[in-house]
């Protein structure tokens, strides 16, 4: 009885947060889902059909787009965390000049994604700074064509540039709660650097690592501006494909299908990341 | 090495400590230089693009603009509502940050400290505002706001920005609550701490780094939000991104876009430096794991 | 228990605020534009007192035009210069509301089909606007292959053509064979944008289809794609695939122009109004030149429409009349060098010559072919790399 009362109270306490979000998001998600089956269509027609799903699943463009966005999302989220984690460890202890450094590092946080994309594209363009410097140093004879590369390295680079401080902030917050006595105890037991890193820091910081990977994935997977400036000519990212589907081909319902796919895929990757985090933590 | 250390009568661990400190200082210096290049050069490019003289374009093979002028800045201030947009943006953002903190706090606490059925689902649900594709936000979420009568209203914009910032706030603060060691709370309870004391002396100090991160994220989300703001805000309200997108979207004009981007970034960066200075002592204390 | 009460109280307060915040503005005076005289429309417009107009370019011109309008009619203009996609998302999001927030807006080629399909605009307005017959007659009927039935008033005309750097291209190609030879001799220096992301790339593919599959005449008047007529389009895709490593693909109209400025490319397909605007603001060198080659390039124009659920339709009509007036069209031309929609204005000193426009400008094939062309280009050229 006591237990139940508590749970009820706990659910009520979720209302201002989760309830607030559901109040606004619920019907939007429902409408997207309904539209993907041809109901409440934006064009005014409304009849249940599976043809939109069939059309999207059969088109190689959509599959390519999904795989490409997935690749970019996973690479960006892992890449940013790999860069940010050592930095977060470095910032764990204070030291001369670190305050200044911490502030400079955070600057890209305040640069909108679209602007970040165009600034970096500026650097790697045909006669951009990178090519000019390499030419002058005689490292290359001909400027390299790096814009809109087929693999998507440009996108990954911009994502890391823009979001390094974002992930750093989360990781610093989660590392902050690791106490020195834990580490001292490990040291006294003869643990080396690597074993302290992998047996203490990584597992204890795992909630933070997980959240950064999840939030970074959402950002990179669903991103529109960076893909549209720096992404490859083909395939289009799934968000771009969704936009093209609706505005160019007027296939609003098929765009809704892509929207549902974006949401479901994101959930799936979050689940996979969470499982991975549980495994890592479970080892301890 | 050891021989010399003994000769100088300096204990080994002090020497090691000194060497370690020097190493860290060099490392810091190295990072500062790398960061200045990493962050500085792209921003310098933006500054140069914003100063391009319309009569004397910056094109290949010039490494730098052949002449500088403030014409692009004048253009933006003369032909856009940038001043009004700045005021609107910076009035909404603090309110949205505050509201998302207050609204999310109970959720953060429950998700971080309590075991309740369906928690994993809730953790996914709170991410929905940022998972939803921009087009769904623009076409459907905006209708929800309009149906609630929140279109063309300042309060509606604050709520919209709160909604988009809350996923970050909730996920980051939940993690902070999660990582408070249970023994600390138990100890406090054994000493007879009331709920109020627990919040004031344990929860708040321990979630502070997370809170700072969450607030910065919510702030940025609010400053950058475009899709929803444009549809439920304009024509009554314009924010900085609504102006930025007129130079960055379909009709991409690098020079003016740089101007607006710099106008958008500068107050944020100044604020960041001030806030960090202001919070420094507490921040470091927290990161040293002292309570 | 106390906590619970507090939570419930806060929630109720929040919910109350949510519903209390939406107070609707009272309806503006209206008039049936189709039957009223122009004087009556102006009178009603003045009673309405304001008009909300959305565009995504020319902030300089529109701001001055709005100031002139306020001086002349005493009607306030709420001008929003947004982004093309965002503008249309906004009106689509509001399309089912009885009264929206937008009165009139610019309509670009990429969005004509969507807006006509969704039935967003009020009309026809051709018989309402006083100088309608002085505006480009073809643009009243069809915009980028879509029939607009007099719903959309021409704002300006634009035209694609070849943009090049005269320092690097001494003898710019005129015929299709010359272009092929030039591309062979100068690999990667000619480029165009992915047709799913901008009209100038579409125009180039359109021209290639014209030359590789036997002209454009056979498509005239079709309302949907006739399979036999597109059966030989694989010739066009072959043309692209044969020289894929000699062509540069860009991601937008403006990206092509930027890459000319950056020196990566020396020649591209571009929109004249785009190039002119970027030149005015120092985004491309002024030595750049443009022409419409003999092989032909498609052109079009941007239009203005009044939203079906516009709160101030009369004021919107008066504003459109103001923008299309001779005085304003001349002002726009002088400020920006963009080609006016009026046919009674003498034109000198634009990027493209009048002879080029007369002899080499093409009309788009019907819109269904264009959609088909883009989808097939992606499938047959971009996908197979």
- Take residue B197 and report the two structure tokens written for it: 């004391």
How many helices and strands (H and E) does chain A possess?
14, 0
pLDDT at C16: 42
Q: Which of B55, B140, B245 sits opposite C86 (nearest CB)?
A: B245
Beta-carbon contacts of residue A106 (< 8 Å; ≥ 6 apart): A165, A168, A169, B216, B272
- Residue A183 touches partner B, C-beta closer than 8 Å: no
A12 lies in some domain: no
- Residue A243 touches partner C, C-beta closer than 8 Å: yes
With CB atoms and an 8 Å threshold, state whether B114 touches A98.
no
- Categorize the per-residue pLDDT at B1 as very low, low, confident or very high, splitting at 50, 70 and 90: very low
For the CA atoms of B6, B11, B17, B19, what is the dihedral angle to 10 degrees? Answer: -10
Contact predicate B108/A1, CB 8 Å: no
Measure A229 CA to nearest chain C CA, in Å.
Answer: 7
| Alpha-carbon span A140 to B152, nearest angstrom | 55
Q: Which residues of C touch B254 (CB under 8 A)?
A: 258, 283
A269 lies in some domain: yes
With CB atoms and an 8 Å threshold, state whether B246 touches C282.
no
Buried b (16+ CB within 10 A) or exposed e, C300-325: bbbbbbbbbbbbbbbbbbbbbbbbbb
Q: Which residues of C touch A236 (CB under 8 A)?
A: 196
B77-86 average pLDDT score = 93
- Residue given tokens 């999660």 in the structure block: B178
Is the confidence at residue C1, as pLDDT, over 50?
no
Is the confidence at residue B9, as pLDDT, over 80?
no
Report the share of chain C in percent with pLDDT over 90. Answer: 70
For the CA atoms of B227, B229, B230, B233, what is the dihedral angle to 10 degrees? Answer: 160
Lowest mean pLDDT among A116-120, B201-205, B235-239, C303-307: B201-205
Domains and CATH numbers, chain B: 2-37 (no CATH), 81-287 (1.10.3720.10)
| Alpha-carbon span A139 to C142, nearest angstrom | 54
CA dihedral sign, ordered C24, C25, C26, C32: negative
- Residue B194 touches partner C, C-beta closer than 8 Å: no
| Alpha-carbon span B107 to B214, nearest angstrom | 14
Q: Alpha-carbon Rg of chain B, whole angstroms?
A: 25
pLDDT at C6: 52
- Residue given tokens 């997977």 in the structure block: A221
Neighbours of C242 (CB within 10 A): 10
B235-253 average pLDDT score = 87
CATH number of the structural domain spanning residue A233 = 1.10.3720.10
- Residue C225 touches partner A, C-beta closer than 8 Å: no
Residues C262-276: pLDDT tens digits? 999 999 999 998 999
How many domains are there within chain A?
1
- Categorize the per-residue pLDDT at B277 as very low, low, confident or very high, splitting at 50, 70 and 90: confident
- Categorize the per-residue pLDDT at B287 as very low, low, confident or very high, splitting at 50, 70 and 90: very low
A217 lies in some domain: yes
pLDDT at A156: 95
Contact predicate B252/A59, CB 8 Å: no
Contact predicate C299/C361, CB 8 Å: yes
Residues A155-198: pLDDT tens digits? 999 999 999 999 998 998 888 777 778 788 888 888 788 888 88
| Alpha-carbon span C7 to C17, nearest angstrom | 15
Write out residues 139-158 of B within 8 Å (CB-CB) of A. Answer: 139-141, 143-145
A38 lies in some domain: no
Measure A120 CA to nearest chain B CA, in Å.
Answer: 7
Q: Which residues of C touch B235 (CB under 8 A)?
A: 52, 54, 78, 80, 101-102
C298-323 average pLDDT score = 94
Which residue range(s) make up the domain with A71? Answer: 61-283
A144-148 average pLDDT score = 86
Measure B102 CA to nearest chain C CA, in Å.
Answer: 11
Q: Which of C11, C188, C382 sits opposite A16 (nearest CB)?
A: C11
| Alpha-carbon span C61 to C330, nearest angstrom | 11
With CB atoms and an 8 Å threshold, state whether B103 touches A16.
yes
Is the confidence at residue A132, as pLDDT, over 70?
yes
Is the confidence at residue C24, as pLDDT, over 50?
no
Half-sphere exposure of A94 (CA within 13 A, CB side): 12
| B97 three-class SS | helix
pLDDT at A182: 79
| Alpha-carbon span B68 to B52, nearest angstrom | 5
pLDDT at A129: 86
Max mean pLDDT among A181-195, B179-193, C24-38, C196-210 falls in C196-210
Within chain B, what is the greatest distance between any pair of CA atoms? Answer: 82
pLDDT at B4: 54
Residues B128-160: pLDDT tens digits? 999 999 888 988 899 899 989 999 999 999 999
Q: What DSSP element (H or E) covers C219? A: none
- Take residue C42 and report the two structure tokens written for it: 């102006």
| Alpha-carbon span B289 to B286, nearest angstrom | 5
User: What single string gives the DSSP state of each residue in A54-69?
Assistant: HHHHH-HHHHHHHHHH
Neighbours of B16 (CB within 10 A): 11
| Alpha-carbon span B119 to B116, nearest angstrom | 6
User: Measuring CA to CA, which residue among C330, C363, C355, C357 is closest to residue C344?
Assistant: C330
Write out residues 233-252 of A within 8 Å (CB-CB) of B. Answer: 239, 242-243, 246
User: Measuring CA to CA, which residue among C117, C86, C124, C126 is closest to residue C102?
Assistant: C86
B184-206 average pLDDT score = 82
Measure B13 CA to nearest chain C CA, in Å.
Answer: 54
A52 lies in some domain: no
With CB atoms and an 8 Å threshold, state whether C92 touches A247.
no
| Alpha-carbon span A62 to C379, nearest angstrom | 11
Domains and CATH numbers, chain C: 36-157+301-336 (3.40.190.10), 159-299+353-382 (3.40.190.10)
- Categorize the per-residue pLDDT at C291 as very low, low, confident or very high, splitting at 50, 70 and 90: very high
Closest-CA residue of B relative to A210 is B175
A76 lies in some domain: yes
- Categorize the per-residue pLDDT at B161 as very low, low, confident or very high, splitting at 50, 70 and 90: very high
Q: Cα C67 vs. chain centroid, distance in angstroms?
A: 24
């Amino acid at each position: 009885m006591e237990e139940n009362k508590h749970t009820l109270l706990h659910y009520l306490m979720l209302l201002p947060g989760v309830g607030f979000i559901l109040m606004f998001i619920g019907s939007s998600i429902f409408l997207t889902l309904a539209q993907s089956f041809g109901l409440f269509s934006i064009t005014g027609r409304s009849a249940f059909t599976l043809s939109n799903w069939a059309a999207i699943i059969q088109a190689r463009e959509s599959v390519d787009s999904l795989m490409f966005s997935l690749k970019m999302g996973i690479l960006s989220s892992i890449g940013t965390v790999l860069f940010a984690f050592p930095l977060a460890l470095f910032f764990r202890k204070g030291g001369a000049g670190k305050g200044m450094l911490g502030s400079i590092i955070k600057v890209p946080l305040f640069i909108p994604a679209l602007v970040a994309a165009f600034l970096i594209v500026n650097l790697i363009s045909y006669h951009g700074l990178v090519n000019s410097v390499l030419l002058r140093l005689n490292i290359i004879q001909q400027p390299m064509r790096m814009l809109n590369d087929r693999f998507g390295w440009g996108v990954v680079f911009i994502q890391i540039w823009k979001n390094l401080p974002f992930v750093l902030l989360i990781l610093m917050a989660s590392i902050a709660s690791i106490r020195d006595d834990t580490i001292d105890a490990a040291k006294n037991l003869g643990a080396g650097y690597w074993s302290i890193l992998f047996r203490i820091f990584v597992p204890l910081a795992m909630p933070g690592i997980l959240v950064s990977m999840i939030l970074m994935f959402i950002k990179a997977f669903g991103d529109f501006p960076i893909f549209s400036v720096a992404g490859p000519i083909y395939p289009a990212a799934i968000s771009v494909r969704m936009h093209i589907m609706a505005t160019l081909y007027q296939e609003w319902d098929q765009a809704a299908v892509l929207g549902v796919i974006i949401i479901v895929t994101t959930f799936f990757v979050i689940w996979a990341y969470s499982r991975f985090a549980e495994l890592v933590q479970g080892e301890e | 090495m050891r021989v010399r250390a003994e000769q100088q009568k300096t204990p080994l661990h002090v020497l090691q400590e000194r060497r370690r400190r020097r190493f860290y200082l060099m490392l810091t210096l190295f990072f500062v230089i790398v960061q200045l290049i990493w962050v500085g050069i792209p921003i310098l490019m933006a500054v140069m693009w914003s100063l391009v003289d319309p009569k004397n374009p910056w094109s290949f093979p010039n490494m730098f603009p052949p002449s500088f002028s403030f014409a692009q800045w004048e253009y933006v201030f003369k032909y856009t509502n940038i001043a009004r947009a700045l005021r609107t943006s910076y009035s909404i953002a603090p309110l949205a940050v505050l509201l998302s903190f207050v609204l999310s706090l109970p959720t953060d606490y429950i998700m971080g400290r309590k075991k309740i059925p369906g928690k994993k689902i809730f953790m996914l649900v709170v991410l929905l505002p940022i998972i939803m594709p921009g087009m769904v936000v623009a076409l459907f979420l905006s209708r929800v706001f309009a149906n609630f009568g929140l279109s063309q209203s300042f309060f509606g914009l604050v709520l919209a920005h709160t909604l988009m910032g809350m996923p970050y706030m909730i996920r980051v603060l939940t993690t902070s609550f999660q990582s408070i060691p249970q023994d600390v709370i138990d100890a406090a309870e054994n000493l007879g701490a009331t709920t109020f004391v627990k919040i004031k002396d344990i929860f708040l100090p321990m979630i502070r780094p997370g809170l700072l991160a969450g607030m910065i994220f919510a702030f940025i989300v609010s400053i950058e939000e475009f899709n929803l703001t444009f549809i439920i805000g304009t024509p009554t309200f314009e924010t900085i991104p609504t102006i930025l997108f007129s130079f960055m979207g379909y009709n991409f004009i690098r020079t003016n876009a740089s101007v607006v981007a710099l106008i958008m970034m500068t107050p944020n960066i100044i604020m960041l430096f001030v806030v960090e200075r202001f919070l420094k002592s507490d921040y470091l204390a927290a990161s040293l794991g002292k309570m | 228990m106390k906590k619970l009460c507090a939570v419930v109280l806060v929630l109720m307060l929040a919910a109350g605020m949510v519903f209390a915040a939406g107070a609707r503005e009272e309806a503006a005076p209206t008039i049936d534009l189709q039957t009223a005289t122009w004087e009556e429309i102006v009178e009603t417009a003045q009673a309405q007192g304001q008009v909300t107009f959305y565009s995504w370019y020319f902030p300089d011109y529109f701001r001055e035009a709005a100031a002139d309008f306020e001086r002349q009619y005493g009607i306030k203009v709420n001008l929003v210069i947004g982004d093309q996609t965002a503008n249309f998302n906004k009106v689509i999001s509001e399309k089912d509301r009885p009264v929206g927030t937008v009165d009139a807006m610019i309509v670009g080629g990429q969005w004509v089909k969507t807006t006509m399909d969704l039935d967003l605009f009020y009309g026809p307005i051709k018989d309402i606007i006083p100088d309608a017959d002085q505006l480009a007659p073809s643009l009243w009927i069809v915009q980028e292959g879509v029939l607009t039935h007099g719903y959309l008033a021409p704002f300006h005309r634009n035209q694609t053509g070849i943009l090049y750097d005269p320092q690097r291209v001494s003898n710019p190609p005129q015929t299709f064979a010359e272009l092929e030879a030039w591309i062979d001799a100068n690999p990667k220096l000619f480029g165009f944008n992915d047709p799913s992301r901008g009209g100038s790339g579409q125009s180039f593919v359109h021209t290639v289809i014209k030359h590789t599959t036997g002209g454009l005449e056979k498509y005239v008047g079709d309302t949907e794609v006739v399979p036999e007529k597109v059966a030989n389009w694989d010739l066009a895709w072959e043309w692209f695939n044969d020289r894929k490593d000699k062509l540069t693909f860009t991601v937008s109209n403006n990206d092509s122009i930027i890459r000319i400025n950056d020196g990566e490319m020396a020649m591209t397909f571009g929109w004249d109004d785009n190039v002119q605007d970027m030149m005015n603001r120092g985004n491309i060198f002024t030595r750049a030149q443009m022409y419409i080659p003999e092989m032909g390039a498609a052109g079009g124009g941007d239009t203005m429409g009044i939203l079906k659920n516009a709160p101030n339709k009369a004021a919107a009509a008066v504003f459109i009349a103001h923008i299309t007036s001779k005085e304003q069209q001349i002002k726009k031309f002088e400020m920006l060098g963009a080609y006016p929609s009026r046919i009674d204005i003498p034109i000198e000193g634009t990027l493209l010559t009048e002879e080029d426009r007369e002899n080499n400008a093409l009309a788009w094939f019907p819109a269904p072919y264009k959609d088909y062309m883009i989808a097939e280009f992606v499938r047959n050229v971009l996908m197979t790399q």
